Structure 1
Amino acid sequence: MIISPSPNRIFIKLLLGFWICSSVIIAAVGLLPLLQQNHDQAPLPPHLETLLSRIANRIIEQPELLERPHFKHFRNIKNFRGKPLRIYLVNEQGQVVNRDRMSRGMRRFMLMAEEANHPISHQFKNELIFGPYEFQVHDEQYSLYGRIDDHHPRPWFFFFSENKLLTLSLAILLSGLLCGLLAWHLGKPLRSLKQSAETLAKGDLQHRVDPSTSKRSDEFGQLAQAFNAMADAVENMVNSQQRLISDISHELRTPLTRLQLALALARKKDQGSTEIERIGYEAEQLDQMIGELLELSRVKLNFNDVKHPLALNETLTQVLDDADFEAEQQQKQLVINIDDEIRLPTYPRPLARAVENLLRNAIRYADKRITIEAKYLDEQVELVILDDGPGIENPQDLQAIFEPFYRPQSARERESGGWGLGLAITKAAIDAHQGSIYATNAQPNGLKVTITLPAH
């Protein structure tokens, strides 16, 4: 499968993501002083300029008002739109001539106005100061400032400029949020790919990466397409292998049937001998092995079957009855502890065959007692088969016994006439259920096989 290159690269996404994130934070923080400066140097509103002009014209017309006894006539104007208004008259030396003291806010505003080099107005927390309005009297330069005492709402950015620690915290939080969104955007397809790889590793060869990931135009989409192509190839290869084993087994059945027929004819003609009996025994063994191979292929190729939600006791009824009868014939005890309420979606025949193989092995090697029990464990059903036999000597063989044709050199297997296919069939059936199976040596002796199956 050829994947065409795409200009939408992860490198570009990472670069743009972090670039945009840092740019937004820098712009937001850097914009605050600019907004404050623009607010500090706001032009003098026309109605306030008219007010100062009117007062200045009055002073020009009545120069005697500049004398100290007359300062009280224009210090305060009480009826300016219902708010108290204070007037400050400043001479060329920057001294306030109509008042003895000047507030800190007024000093700060005079510096701001001098820096702006034009009449401005500024909203402090509890006062509005505006000016200057310049005029001349007797060749002397004067400036007029006004102050309205009132609680005025301030622009929102003043809150951040005055609370720098909070602003820094919000900047860090916003940066984390933007980077988190970017990480989530990049991590989502990775989680999808990881889940698909784990599902494929568990034996679900039909699982593919979801379309929302495989249709992406970046490297994640290309990786998902490559993964799906690999999964297709693996599924085809495994299915072809199983079909080959199945086909070969079927083909072997034909000459084997002829051989068994020839042996039967020879026995009818009283041509029996030790050699013929040996050939007959080996033919029966070969027939059983071919049957096991066909069963293994059938279990592995029938992943497309529909699961049926059934009670576990209902699925295993015949198997448990047969195992109880077999154990009784060998003077052994089979203890069954499976709750009737346990239900789960199953492939009935493969699951029954898997449990049957485990119970037969347990009965064969047990001394006196075999136990099978099932219970709910979180979102799974746990099925445990325990015997009191010799167990498996080599711990490395505990998981390998579920591989086809693997026969450990232990006390459990030396007496067996099997080919190492029974437990392989069991594992294939459990894998088909998306479950797991493992074996451990019990204490003080025996073998414990644990099966976990999805409950939903």
Structure 2
Amino acid sequence: MNQRYPRRLFTKMLVAFLFVFLLISQVIWLGFSLFAHDDSPFARQQRSLQQVQLASISGLLAHSSGPAAVQALVESWEPNVRPQVSFSPAPNTPTTIYAEDRGVPTILSQQLRDNAGHRYQVVLDYNGLDRFYERGHHSWHDSLHIPTPIMFFAPFLGIFFSLLLAWNMTRPIRQLREGFAKVSRGDLSVRLFPAMKRRYDELSIVAKDFDAMVERIDVLVKAREALLHDISHELRTPLARVQLAVGLARQSESNIPQSLDRIDLETERLDKMIGELLTLSRAEHDGIDIEQYFDFITLLEAILVDVRYEAQQPQVDVVAHYDSLKSVTVRGNAELIRRAIENVLRNALRYSTQGQVIVVKVEVDRDTLLLTICDSGPGVAEEKMSSIFDPFVRLQSSLSGKGYGLGLAIVRKVITAHHGQVSASNRQEGGLKISIRLPRWPE
């Protein structure tokens, strides 16, 4: 967390919060302006003061014999609340208040009686007194129609909540950024979900997906490294033999024919292994053309012809169970499917001995076809069953031959690329059973 980050997100959130606050305050003021009918607090306060003054004058005049006592009372008031008071004979008109409906009146006029029964028209003139002008008591923020307490506390509350929200949002983003930076530097041990799982929101789900991505990348990188190590190891042995043959040929001319035979043999082995590696790489990536359509039964019959020819020398029987007259259309690359099935059959042939039988069976339903190949060989130990489809995995057996452990790996890659499934299991009567399931193209 030592890397410094620009606070753009916090600034955006702070500005957005203050803008929304200002907008809401103006909408509230507009609503009160349109639908409220009461005076403002200032107008109610000044109206109350005027009524008190008028009641005091009325009460004093009712217990006195003239306006002189009233003038003495008015002179005792503070200058900023002292109106100009005038008396005149009362006309036969009702009392009138000169003011706006929702403002502060500047002139009050009312008929009053003294204790002698004389009627007077008393006028209270507030013109010239700034206290009774509402616009004279507005502060600079009144143009925004926001009360003073809110103007004082709102910026601090806005900054506090914006800071809290920005920290809560930018902290996981910084963690994600640092996690991606570590992955880009080759550190695949970084995990974010343990530190973010208590958020219980979308960002914790993102952290979980990030961890899954990194774990997948870690598995792929380790698999690539292991595959590169195995390829290097497998290539080193035949190359060493080639170098040895060259050295022997240089020592004596009599060793040249034998050395050339050895070089030819090792070259064939290298060519075979490189061909299998290319097939494995092609099956693993998106370079497979699966836009072809072929008859699976016809392809299987052609494969069985070659396998039965190879099975003559070890005297192994290959028995097939399927309906040769039924057409089963499969969408995919026929050449790769052929190689995959040949690899399984040759693997079964390698582990079979004289007199044993390899059984090939095809079961077809509406959507898929199931190809099972069973041999009568030694089978596979249960603890190694899950790894026989990995590259360069070879079982320690006297019947294993000279393979490189790429056959079944190619089978899995090819079948998976065709959206199928392949599995292996030991038979109860002995031997290994390979099951290949492929999607069938609808008729």
Q: TM-score, normalised by structure 1?
A: 0.42
Q: Which structure has greater strand proportion? A: 1
**Higher Rg of the two aligned structures:** 2
TM-score (norm 2): 0.43
